[in-house]
Amino acid sequence: MTSTGRGRGLDMFRDGDFPLYTLTFARNLSPAELLIRMGVDPETLGFRPATDLTDDLGDDLFDEDEPVVVAGADGPWAWAWEQGGVHGLDARTLSAVSAGTEAVVLHHNEKPMDWFKYAVGGGVVVGFHTLQAIEPTGQDPTRLDELMRPLGLVRGRVPPVHGVLALLETAFGIGLTAPGDEARWSGRLRRLPE
């Protein structure tokens, strides 16, 4: 949400009380395809209003092993929001999500820490976390340096609060229209294999 009401952007994560979440974005996929690639249980995949989400999947909303995920689209990006799990960070999941396209994942937890991964064609191009000074890894860890630097995301330095949210918005044009009462794709993600 922005100060002017429901809007596009990631301000709802700056302003809201979301101690743990994982956001997965994929370019030019439908929300249902994103969930399928993430490993949603097909028996739980559905297009349902928020009120039915609690009725259908309420006991598992925040389960970390088989989390409920809600998905939508904003511009060219499909998004999936896990409020309890970290499936989007899993290397196998991210490889499937980014096959033939590009994907961005942001995991946030209460430490506070953000974990960012950018993948293209099945491989992680840039990845880093903010628990300590930033040390990007991946196939091309310097690819986003020019975009990260003005946001205070500098190699070897502790990042500013919400710097990774700003990176998603500025480098990728990612936003997320705040979910309301309208129907969204949702389902329960299957447990990740050991």
Looking at the chain, the number of H-run helices and the number of E-run strands are: 6, 8
Burial of 112 (0-12, 13-18, 19+ CB in 10 A): exposed
User: What pLDDT does residue 53 have?
Assistant: 62
pTM of this prediction? 0.91
User: What pLDDT does residue 5 have?
Assistant: 40
User: What pLDDT does residue 177 have?
Assistant: 73
User: What pLDDT does residue 51 have?
Assistant: 65
Structure-token pair, residue 135 = 């040390």
User: What pLDDT does residue 9 have?
Assistant: 74
Structure-token pair, residue 133 = 């000074």
Please report, for residues 19, 116, 146, 152, the alpha-carbon distance to residue 173 in angstroms, rounded to integers and kept in the order given: 24, 15, 16, 18
User: What pLDDT does residue 2 have?
Assistant: 31
Q: CA angle at residue 185 from 180 to 188, to 5 degrees?
A: 110
Mean pLDDT, 10 residues at a time, the chain of 194 residues: 48 86 97 97 89 63 79 94 91 98 95 94 97 96 97 94 94 84 88 88
Structure-token pair, residue 51 = 């009120």
User: What pLDDT does residue 1 have?
Assistant: 28
